[in-house]
Amino acid sequence: MKKFILTLTLLFSITCFTNAQNNYPQGYFRNPLNIPMQLAANFGELRTDHFHMGLDIRTQARENLPVHAAADGYVSRVKIEKYGYGHAIYITHPNGYTTLYGHLNSFYPALEKYLRDKQYKDQSWEQDFELPANLFPVTKGQFIANSGNTGGSQGPHLHFEIRDTKTGNNLNPLLFGMPLTDHIAPIVYGLYWYDRRYSAYTVSPQSLSIIKKNGIYTTTTPVVRVGSPIISLGVRMQDMNNASSFKFGVYHAALYVDDVLQFEFKLNDFLYPTSRYVNASMDYKRWVVNKQGIQYLSLLPGNKLSVFSPLDSDGNISLNDDQTHKIKIVLSDEKKNTTTISFSLKYDEALQKDYSIPADAFICDTNSANNIKTDNASISFDSNAFYDALPLRVFETASAYSKQVSPTIHIGDYTIPVHNDYNVMVKAAALTGNQKNKVVMELKSGSSATVKKGVWQGSWMLSSFNELGNVRLLIDEVPPVVTPISWKDGSTFISQKTLTVKCVDDVSRIASFTATLEDGSWLMFAKKSDYFTYTFDEHCPAGKHTLTITAMDVAGNAIVETYNFTKQ
């Protein structure tokens, strides 16, 4: 009877898996490039604070390859931003889907002119606007843009997404029959267990030694003995395909305990607002410290992602008896290439290790609000902040740093994820009115820093962050620094097509940047990282010019620099 039930379970899982793929129109969307498709990243790949939401298609390490519409439709949205997808086009299709093309350098002539006219009219390089269906219709295969390296891109490529037009859900493009050869099953690099008597943020992963025999991964010890009566598993895994040597995320994973399905995910689709739950789906500390992606084969209490199969089990494995339990893990990609991990587990009380909780730690529960106060700080987390209950240490230390006007508030550890913004109030030292206007709040989380202009409530400043770390108030009275790149005051531009400056601030970041000519006319500078670049156009005719650049930081300190140049 048990074998019959197992057969039905496996058959149902395979049927659902097949039907999920068959719901997507095959061959409707073409490769948006005219070169064989090679990927640098796939859908659902682990990233910091999000799953990768589309395909990164390689462009032969070059920019300005022609990009083509994946199907008939119309340009429905254009977005230009310093980070993110840089220059992006959205095309809405009549079958209920929308495609996105990101990190572009430029658009096809009619759309590029429309964009530039709007940027100059708005006097804003950043743009995000929608378009009516009749303004820019496109046909399948039509040239729409040149590929590039704009926005948050770290190298030339095309970012490509398919979304449900009505819901905005990002869908896995590889389920639509994209022309990509793949006969390679997922690869396993590590297998780990966690003591689930404790918070996921209290214990470290315990590695299990594995080998591959006859195409199946197994442990080097026939029966693995673990020192906890309740555990969860994690796998460090990646996928590959035949088109390149790049490694990718794994589409599907299933955990069976004694032949019963206990946990499963399939990366068919995500909504952007829920993508941050990637931090609950992997060992976050290993990711931020070592860039090792150990994916949990269990659900943390605060993980509300919808990619998991609805089961009675959360994936935690109970080993309360003295029996040996059979474990099978099945990993597969969109082409149904499959990898299996098979081994046995048994609880051994003699191996049990108990962990202690710091006496000064605040116990923060998941799915409930948590408020913590110290002498000079008040921190408020809402009910969605944490994925698992945890002991959180919060304390203050003094600082002799001349720009610091508060104690340093140590809020937990940067290796513990927070799902959404939490509020922080910090009390400042005695300040004059002018000094208060120049105070910012800084969060140092690992090697990164976030600086915000908070809101004063008496002598307390209020702001919000979505990472843990060290918070302090800083007084910033120094304006940004503007530096010409490969030119100087008095330069003559003969054949140069662009003019670039670097703009940085010692404490915060650049909040605003404006460039004008001698007659007050605005010039459009594109932005990437700390660099601002103007491409010479009809708004800067030949002749002698005076360029005025105004830059302001978060604290409100502004600098005005004037340069003379000649354009021939």
Which residue in 157, 84, 156 sits closest to 126, CA to CA?
84
Q: Answer whether residue 281 is part of any domain.
A: yes
Please give the distance of CA 2 from its chain centroid, rounded to a whole number.
43
Residue type for position 480: P
Q: CA torsion angle for 115, 121, 123, 125 (degrees, to 10)?
A: 0
Q: Would you state the pLDDT for residue 432?
A: 82
Q: Which helix (H) or strand (E) holds 109?
A: helix 109-122
Report the distance separating Cα 381 and Cα 368, nearest Å.
9
Say which residues have a Cβ less than 8 Å from residue 343's Cβ, sequence separation at least 6. Answer: 208, 210, 218, 219, 222, 224, 327
User: Can you tell me the distance from the alpha carbon of 54 to that of 52, in angstroms, rounded to the nearest whole number?
Assistant: 6
Residues 508 and 457 grouped into a single domain: no
User: Looking at residues 34-53, what average pLDDT do you find?
Assistant: 96
Is there a single domain that holds both residue 333 and residue 428?
Answer: no
Angle, vertex CA 434, rays to CA 433 and CA 437, nearest 5: 90
Token representation of residue 212: 């591959």
Distance, CA of 239 to CA of 248 (rounded, Å) = 5
* CATH number reported for the structural domain that contains residue 226 in this entry: 2.60.40.10
Q: What is the three-state SS of 182-196? A: CCCCCEEEEEEEEEC
Is pLDDT at 18 greater than 70 in this prediction? no
Instruction: Report the distance separating Cα 248 and Cα 331, nearest Å.
Output: 13
- The parent domain of residue 516 ranges over 481-567
The candidate with the shortest Cα–Cα distance to 521, out of 504, 502, 546, is 546
CATH of the domain at 90: 2.70.70.10
Decide if pLDDT at 265 tops 50. yes
219 and 335 in one domain? yes
Helix, coil or strand: residue 250: coil
Q: What is the DSSP letter of 153?
A: -
Q: Which residues 6+ apart lie within 8 Å of 297 measured at CB?
A: 232, 233, 234, 235, 253, 255, 263, 315, 329
Residue 210 has a pLDDT of 97
Kindly give, in sequence order, each residue whose CB lies less than 8 Å from that of residue 54, ignoring residues fewer than 6 positions away.
43, 100, 102, 159, 160, 161, 162, 170, 173
**105 domain-assigned:** yes
One domain, residues 420 and 530: no
**Residues 183-198: tens digit of each pLDDT:** 999 999 999 999 999 9
Residue type, 81: E
Kindly report the CATH number assigned to the domain that includes residue 562. 2.60.40.1220
Tell me how far apart the alpha carbons of residues 178 and 161 are, in angstroms, rounded to a whole number: 12
Q: Is 251 in contact with 180 (CB distance < 8 Å)?
A: no
Q: Is residue 195 part of a domain?
A: yes
**What pLDDT, on the 0 to 100 scale, is given for residue 22?**
52
Q: Which residues contact 51 (CB under 8 A, 6 or more apart)?
A: 43, 44, 45, 249, 267, 270, 275, 278
pLDDT in tens, 522-546: 999 999 989 999 999 999 999 999 9
**Domain finish residue from 444, 475, 506:** 475
**What pLDDT digit, counting tens, does each position of 404-413 carry?**
999 999 999 9
Q: Summarize the confidence of residues 191-220 as an average pLDDT.
A: 96
What's the CA angle centered on 495, arms 493 and 499, to 5 degrees? Answer: 50
Q: Confirm if 503 and 526 have CB atoms less than 8 A apart.
A: no
Q: What is the model's pLDDT at position 430?
A: 87
What percent of the chain shows pLDDT beyond 70? Answer: 96
Mean pLDDT taken over the chain: 94
Tell whether 220 and 281 lie within a shared domain. Answer: yes
The pLDDT confidence band at residue 8, using thresholds 50, 70 and 90, is very low
Write down which residue in 152, 176, 200 finishes a domain: 176
Contacts of 74 (CB under 8 A, 6+ apart): 91, 92, 131, 133, 134, 135, 136, 137, 138
For 84-114, write each residue's pLDDT tens digit: 999 999 999 999 999 999 999 999 999 999 9
Judged against a pLDDT cut of 50, whether residue 21 lies above it is answered with no
Residue 154 covered by a domain:
yes
Extract the tokens encoding 309.
Answer: 């199969």
Shared domain check, 115 and 65: yes
Whether the CB-CB separation of 243 and 38 falls below 8 Å is answered with yes
Domain presence at residue 521: yes
Asked, for residue 323, whether it belongs to a domain, the answer is yes
Contacts of 434 (CB under 8 A, 6+ apart): none
Looking up tokens 């799953």 gives 51
490 and 405: one domain?
no
The count of other CB atoms within 10 Å of the CB of residue 565 is 18
Q: What is the CATH number of the domain that holds 420?
A: 2.60.220.30
Contact status, residue 310 vs residue 244, Cβ threshold 8 Å: no
Determine contact, residues 314/388, Cβ cutoff 8 Å.
Answer: no
Distance CA 386, CA 133 (A): 42
Claim to verify: residue 413 and residue 437 sit in the same structural domain: yes
Percentage of the chain modeled with pLDDT above 90: 93
Which residues have CB under 8 Å from 204's CB, separation 6+?
Answer: none
Residue 405 covered by a domain: yes
Total structural domains in the chain? 4
Mean pLDDT across 355-382: 95
DSSP string over 313-324: --S-EE--SS--
Same domain (yes/no): 469, 488: no
What does the alpha-carbon distance between residue 98 and residue 163 come to, in Å, rounded to a whole number?
Answer: 5
Residue 12 lies in a domain: no
One domain for residues 276 and 320: yes
Last residue of a domain, one of 112, 146, 176: 176
* Strand-pair category, 106-107 with 143-146: antiparallel
Q: Residues, the chain, total?
A: 568
Clarify whether residues 269 and 312 are in a common domain: yes
User: What pLDDT, in 10s, does the model give residues 414-466?
Assistant: 999 999 999 999 999 989 878 999 999 999 999 999 999 999 999 999 999 99
d(CA 341, CA 212): 9
DSSP structure class, residue 31: P
Mean pLDDT of 36-64: 97
Can you tell me whether residue 112 is helix, strand or coil?
helix
In angstroms, what is the C-alpha Rg of the chain? 27
Q: 297 and 253 in contact (C-beta within 8 Å)?
A: yes
User: Looking at the structure, do residues 260 and 292 belong to the same domain, yes or no?
Assistant: yes
Mean pLDDT of 361-368: 93
Over range 130-143, report the average pLDDT: 98
